[in-house]
Amino acid sequence: MNENHGAAFVSFMDYVATFAEMSRLHLQGDERFFVLPNAQGKKLVDFLGTACNPNVGYLQSKLKDVEKKSREWRKAPTCYNSQDMLSILSFSDELVEIMSKQLDCIQNGKIEKEIDDEILGAMVQENVHWIGKTSDIAILLPFILSHHDSNSSLNWPTISPEGRAELPQIVNVHADLWKFAPFHPITKEAQSLS
């Protein structure tokens, strides 16, 4: 592995580990959001169904395995084995399917019928606050912006002009990570590894 490829490999392993860590946090946040009772005493899982809460133990375990192995390979790139990588990522199709089912659950109009807008807004704020306390903002914000297509949702939150002004500085803290993400965190343009 030459020096340039070595640096890119290390950055990519950092990205893979970060993706796994943030995915685990996302699932944990979903658990809180969908399963804990809100101010009306309602649990979203009760009327949306269990598919709205994909935080199952084995997914957490699989994501931890990805994170751990990526960090090991980052430290010792010569130990990397593509077959091992494929093996630890073998659950990825299932994760995509589970997350797609979750989207179907929450986009069916039931939430709006069951939960007052004010209560739902407070639930979202609490969830954002929790994940903000649980993670590094220099990872969290660029990760969210680079892994969600804001053009696909009318409800995508806006960033204030002051926040936009700070964004380049925040993104630059871990700039090597975001070149592997599907969207550029600042421009929102789709990115490709090719």
Q: pLDDT confidence of 4, banded at 50, 70, 90?
A: very low
For 131-144, b where at least 16 C-beta lie within 10 A, e where not — what string?
Answer: beeebeeebbbbbb
Q: What is the pTM of this model?
A: 0.86
In this model, does residue 100 exceed pLDDT 50? yes
Q: For the residues 24-30, what does the mean pLDDT come to?
A: 92
Give the dihedral sign, CA 165/166/172/177.
Answer: negative
SS3 190: strand
Which residues touch 150 (CB under 8 Å, ≥6 apart)? 156, 188
CA–CA distance, 27 with 93 (Å, rounded to integer): 16
pLDDT at 105: 87
Q: For the residues 139-143, what does the mean pLDDT come to?
A: 91
pLDDT at 160: 85
> Is the Cβ–Cβ distance between 88 and 28 less than 8 Å?
no
Give me the chain's average pLDDT, please.
Answer: 89
pLDDT at 80: 94
| 169 or 5, greater pLDDT | 169
In this model, does residue 51 exceed pLDDT 80? yes
pLDDT at 154: 63
Q: pLDDT tens digit string along 151-194?
A: 776 666 678 899 889 999 999 999 999 999 999 999 989 998 76
pLDDT at 108: 83
pLDDT at 171: 95
Q: pLDDT confidence of 2, banded at 50, 70, 90?
A: very low
Q: pLDDT tens digit string along 112-132?
A: 898 988 998 889 889 988 998
